[in-house]
Amino acid sequence: MNVEQDVALGRLTTVGIGGPARHFARPQTVGELEEVLRWAAAEGLDLLTIGLGSNVLIADEGVDALILRLEGELAAAEARDGLLGAGGGAANAVCLHRTRAAGLGGFEFACAIPGTIGGGVRMNAGAYGGDWRGILERALVATAEGSGWRTPGELGLEYRRSALQPGEVVARAEFRLAPKPPNEIKATVADLQAQRKAAQPTNKRTFGSVFKNPEHELSAGRMLEAVGLKGYRIGGAQISPRHGNFIENAGEARAKEALALMAEARRRALEEFGVELVHEVRLVGGLELPPAGERL
Ligand SMILES: Cc1cc2nc3c(=O)[nH]c(=O)nc-3n(C[C@H](O)[C@H](O)[C@H](O)COP(=O)(O)OP(=O)(O)OC[C@H]3O[C@@H](n4cnc5c(N)ncnc54)[C@H](O)[C@@H]3O)c2cc1C
């Protein structure tokens, strides 16, 4: 298994921020994945899998770890007999294409989620009333000790989280779907995409929702709008003028500028609403937020 050194990660994320990975590998089969996981364990390396990098903020200094990107058969997908089967690195867009061609409905909600199958399991991704937990049958999880299938219950899928640990990699997943005519799938997707375009910055470099929605009458986005943060900028990072719960890379944004915006957003939400916002985006490479209420 070829392991590359000092691979730039920013270009592998949707927000375009982040320094290099010390070690980087692209396993293509379950065998290659297990081999590289054993190697990382023997070397005592920390491990992180990256999908489409659509929900990560990576430190400017990079990551002193092994970063894995699943390719080849670990990024392939097929749909038939009521099942979508896909590698952990398969893009949601490819999976949606396969399910539509096979006349299988139930995955349309993922049309607005620009990630991979494995990233979706890790985050229990969801939108428009659907999520991974609702359709997932089982996932093949690889570790340095070997691979095994897990049910949604065993994966601990909850709102935008799972019980998966950094050394556990989703190599493959299977979803139960229902027959639906391709033209109806197409119409549903067009409708959801139009809704998304009307409400969120779809053509900007972002990492998706910054914060989870709190248990409050206002969503995180509405809260940050109410405290006047829409359009607020620190360096090259800006709270989206379209939607308060998105941070855009509006120039050559640095991770520490995005982090400073997140700290300011938490400070204002606490001050104004008494709510401690919890971040949804995964912070990678030692990035840490200060306690709620403090600036960075
Ligand atoms: C414009 C935009 C809109 C978005 N809208 C939504 C939305 O509506 N709903 C929603 O839920 N999310 C949304 N997101 C966030 C993001 O797309 C999802 O969380 C997605 O599931 C992340 O997938 P990914 O493959 O990009 O994961 P990454 O961002 O690469 O990684 C996210 C986490 O998953 C882990 N991971 C990735 N692959 C694997 C694997 N194979 N095995 C184990 N762990 C893995 C990573 O280590 C990391 O902890 C949006 C993002 C953007 C940029």
3-state secondary structure the chain: CCEEEEEECHHHCCCCCCCEEEEEECCCCHHHHHHHHHHHHHHCCCEEECCCCCCEEECCCCEEEEEECCCHHHHCEEEECCEEEEECCCEHHHHHHHHHHCCEECCHHHHHCCCEHHHHHHHCCEECCEEHHHHEEEEEEEECCEEEEECHHHHCCECCECCCCCCCEEEEEEEECEECCHHHHHHHHHHHHHHHHHHCCCCCCCCCCCECCCCCCCCHHHHHHHCCCCCCEECCEEECCCCCCCEEECCCCCHHHHHHHHHHHHHHHHHHHCCCCCECCEEECCCCCCCCCCCC
Catalytic residue among 54, 162, 209, 240, which?
A: 209
249 lines ligand 1 (CB under 6 A): no
Expressed in angstroms and rounded, the spacing between residue 118 Cα and the centre of ligand 1 is 8
Please give the number of the atom of ligand 1 that sits closest to the Cα of 166: 47
Q: Is 280 a catalytic residue?
A: yes
Please give the number of the atom of ligand 1 that sits closest to the Cα of 56: 29
What's residue 128's pLDDT? 96
Expressed in angstroms and rounded, the spacing between residue 11 Cα and the centre of ligand 1 is 15
What's residue 261's pLDDT? 98
Q: Is 160 a catalytic residue?
A: yes
Expressed in angstroms and rounded, the spacing between residue 101 Cα and the centre of ligand 1 is 24
Q: What is the C-alpha to C-alpha distance for residues 50 and 58, in angstroms, rounded to an integer?
A: 11
240 lines ligand 1 (CB under 6 A): no
68 lines ligand 1 (CB under 6 A): no
66 lines ligand 1 (CB under 6 A): no
Q: How many CA within 13 A on the CB side of residue 83?
A: 9
Catalytic residue among 160, 266, 267, 268, which?
A: 160
282 lines ligand 1 (CB under 6 A): yes
Expressed in angstroms and rounded, the spacing between residue 265 Cα and the centre of ligand 1 is 22
Expressed in angstroms and rounded, the spacing between residue 116 Cα and the centre of ligand 1 is 7
88 lines ligand 1 (CB under 6 A): yes
What's residue 166's pLDDT? 87
Q: Cβ(55)–Cβ(115) under 8 Å?
A: yes
Tens of pLDDT, residue by residue, the chain (296 residues): 899 999 999 999 999 999 999 999 999 999 999 999 999 999 999 999 999 999 999 999 999 999 999 999 999 999 999 999 999 999 999 999 999 999 999 999 999 999 999 999 999 999 999 999 999 999 999 999 999 999 999 999 999 999 999 899 999 999 999 999 999 999 999 999 999 999 999 899 999 999 999 999 999 999 999 999 999 999 999 999 999 999 999 999 999 999 999 999 999 999 999 999 999 999 999 999 999 999 99
